[in-house]
């Protein structure tokens, strides 16, 4: 089987050296090991950003680093909660240090344009900290030509695509955990991992506008899915990729500028 031209893990170090000479955009997918109901795998938040980052990399001549497969603790209002079996999470300082370390290693080997491609909502502020600290590290070494972009792919979904996904109304991205969008994209990119017969169809979770610790798990559906996934389809997943991938590619070309 031929090595993928986009996956760093598939390259030899000789290949890597040659590819980095062209100053490619390097994508670091960052996900989680988190419950996604009875119908989606624990690796959903890693599989989706890896698939989307690969599709975008193919458009911009980029490279995709091996993903960070663990993420910050699942939160009850956006992921069901860290108490669900199989949810294996990192403390904030561990995630920050890990991503900072990987960014510094990429830069050490000549990479200057990096995308932190997030697939797990709870990661986002810790990726900001990792990027900030890595840039500080590089500044201390006299490198001022490094640019890092952090994004969550769901933030690129347009109102028109939302209407396709949610013709009866959009619940919120927090309540969309393991629901229509993620299930649809998984049905499109990895249908072999979706237990279609177990897709849940229950009412959306209702949370108060504040948090109490220890958290009251009562409002969380037993499935861990925060709103119905019954309307998911592979066709909707295809629509998401058809819109999001070129839009992310265009945004990155503009943000990074010429090579």
User: What is the per-residue pLDDT across 37-84, written as a single tens digit (0 to 9) for each?
Assistant: 999 999 999 999 999 999 999 999 999 999 999 999 999 999 999 999
Q: How confident is the model at residue 8 (pLDDT cuts 50, 70, 90)?
A: very high
Select which of 34, 118, 176, 188 is catalytic: 34
Q: Does some domain include residue 224?
A: yes
Select which of 39, 45, 176, 188 is catalytic: 45
Select which of 39, 118, 120, 188 is catalytic: 120
What is the value of pTM for the model shown?
A: 0.96
Structure tokens at 201: 């169809």
The closest alpha carbon to 107, from 54, 143, 63, belongs to 143
In this prediction, residue 89 carries a pLDDT of 98
Select which of 39, 118, 176, 177 is catalytic: 177
In this prediction, residue 31 carries a pLDDT of 98
- CATH number, domain at 39? 3.40.50.10310
45 φ, ψ to 5°?
-70, -10
Mean pLDDT, rounded, of the chain: 96
In this prediction, residue 258 carries a pLDDT of 78
Active site residue 122: yes
Select which of 39, 118, 176, 182 is catalytic: 182
Dump pLDDT digits (tens) for 204-248: 999 999 999 999 999 999 999 999 999 999 999 999 999 999 999
Cα 179 from Cα 248, distance rounded (Å):
23
Q: Does some domain include residue 211?
A: no
The proportion of the chain whose per-residue pLDDT surpasses 70, expressed as a percent, equals 98
Residue 134 structural domain:
8-205+218-253
Q: Does some domain include residue 152?
A: yes
Active site residue 45: yes
Report DSSP letters for 107-125, one per residue: HHTT--EEEEEE--GGGHH
- Report the DSSP beta bridge partners of residue 40: 36
Average pLDDT value for residue range 129-140:
98
Average pLDDT value for residue range 20-40:
98
Q: Does some domain include residue 212?
A: no
Cα 183 from Cα 199, distance rounded (Å):
8
In this prediction, residue 48 carries a pLDDT of 98
Active site residue 192: no
Q: Does some domain include residue 246?
A: yes
In this predicted structure, the answer to whether residue 11 has a pLDDT above a threshold of 70 is: yes
In this prediction, residue 249 carries a pLDDT of 98
Whether the CB-CB separation of 120 and 30 falls below 8 Å is answered with yes
Q: Does some domain include residue 186?
A: yes
In this prediction, residue 1 carries a pLDDT of 52
Q: How many domains does the chain have?
A: 1
Dump pLDDT digits (tens) for 90-101: 999 999 999 999
**In a 10 Å sphere around its CB, with 0-12 CB exposed, 13-18 middle and 19+ buried, how is residue 240 labelled?**
buried
In this prediction, residue 77 carries a pLDDT of 95
Q: Does some domain include residue 3?
A: no
In this prediction, residue 82 carries a pLDDT of 95
């Amino acid at each position: 089987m031929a090595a993928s031209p986009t996956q760093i893990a598939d390259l030899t170090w000789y290949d890597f050296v040659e590819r980095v000479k062209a100053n490619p955009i390097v994508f670091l997918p960052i996900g989680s090991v988190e419950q996604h109901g009875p119908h989606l795998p624990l690796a959903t938040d890693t599989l989706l950003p890896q698939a989307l980052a690969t599709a975008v990399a193919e458009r911009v001549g980029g490279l995709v680093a091996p993903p960070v497969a663990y993420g910050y603790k699942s939160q009850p209002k956006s992921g069901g909660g860290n108490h669900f079996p199989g949810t294996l999470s990192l403390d904030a300082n561990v995630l920050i240090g890990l991503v900072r370390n990987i960014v510094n290693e990429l830069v050490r080997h000549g990479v200057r344009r990096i995308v932190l491609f997030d697939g797990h909502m709870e990661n986002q502020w810790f990726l900001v900290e990792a990027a900030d600290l890595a840039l500080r590290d590089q500044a201390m070494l006299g490198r001022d030509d490094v640019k890092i972009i952090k994004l969550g792919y769901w933030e690129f979904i347009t109102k028109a695509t939302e209407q396709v996904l949610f013709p009866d109304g959009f619940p919120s991205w927090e309540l969309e955990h393991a629901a229509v969008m993620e299930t649809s994209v998984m049905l499109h990119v990895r249908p072999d991992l979706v237990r279609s017969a177990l897709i849940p169809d229950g009412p959306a979770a209702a949370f108060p506008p504040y948090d109490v610790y220890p958290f009251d798990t009562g409002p969380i559906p037993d499935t861990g899915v925060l709103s119905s996934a019954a309307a998911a389809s592979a066709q909707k997943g295809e629509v998401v990729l058809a819109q999001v991938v070129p839009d992310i590619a265009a945004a990155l070309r503009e943000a990074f500028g010429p090579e």
